[in-house]
Structure 1
Amino acid sequence: MGLYQSSQWAERGFCKQCGSHLFYRLKQNNQYFMPVGLFDSSEGLVFDHQVFIDEKPQYYCFANETKNLTGAEVFAQFASPE
């Protein structure tokens, strides 16, 4: 596994052999975000947040209610002050 420091406040994990994205980690609180496709089963997973909602295509919609954050809200919430 490889790590890429994508910003002062987050890093990305990837497979060194194939380059697949494995996770996104917020340094501030050690919170991980992983693509659901990494798991063999989605049973027990809860889809409750969407980020960068202001950049999604209009036709892209999910059936369940989620907490929606714009890009500005994501940066305000998770970016540490410089």
Structure 2
Amino acid sequence: MTKAVHSIKGRCLCGAVTLTVQSVNPRLRACHCDMCRRHTSGMFISVDTLPGTLEVSGPAQSFASSEWAERGFCGTCGSTLWYGTVHDGMRHPAAGLFDAADLGEMTLEFFVDECPQGYALSGDHRKLSTEETIAMFEGDA
């Protein structure tokens, strides 16, 4: 059975940047690391997309936040656009940009041991500690 591919369109707060992605199952992922919290003033929630399908137009900019990652934002209004990994060029778009993000369910949390007590997520999805997250990014998990 073939799974349906969804085309999801989104935009930043001011509408200057628009994004289109393709997803078979728009699953959601949350990150509680200190960099994501500083970038978004909360957890960063991304939507899972098919690799290479993110199309961005408008004044999108990125900031090299570490040796391995970049963070995208709108050059006009500052809206968070994506978290990107440098080694593979993947960009994980912010779920809040897409009206259709409610199609997805939360499937994975990163750095749960760094999550502030005030907004811990409930549910039975996979929750990785700092050690487990780093191991996954290093290819050990």
The TM-score with structure 2 as length reference comes to 0.47
1:20 alignment partner in structure 2: 79
Aligned match for 1:8, one of 67, 72, 87: 67
Amino acid at match of 1:17: T
Distance 1:67 1:78, change over 3 A: same
Give, in angstroms, the shift of residue 5 of structure 1.
Answer: 0.7
Q: Which has the higher contact order (CA 8 A, sep 6+)?
A: 2
1:48 alignment partner in structure 2: 107
Number of corresponding residues? 80
Where in structure 2 are there 5+ consecutive unaligned residues?
1-59
Contact 1:14 1:23 in 2 (8 A): yes
Distance 1:40 1:33, change over 3 A: same
Structure 1 vs Structure 2: percent identity of aligned residues?
35
Contact 1:12 1:23 in 2 (8 A): yes
The TM-score with structure 1 as length reference comes to 0.73
Where in structure 1 are there 5+ consecutive unaligned residues?
none
Find the residue that maps to 1:25 and give its secondary structure.
Answer: strand
CA RMSD, aligned part only? Answer: 2.3
Q: Which has the higher strand share?
A: 2
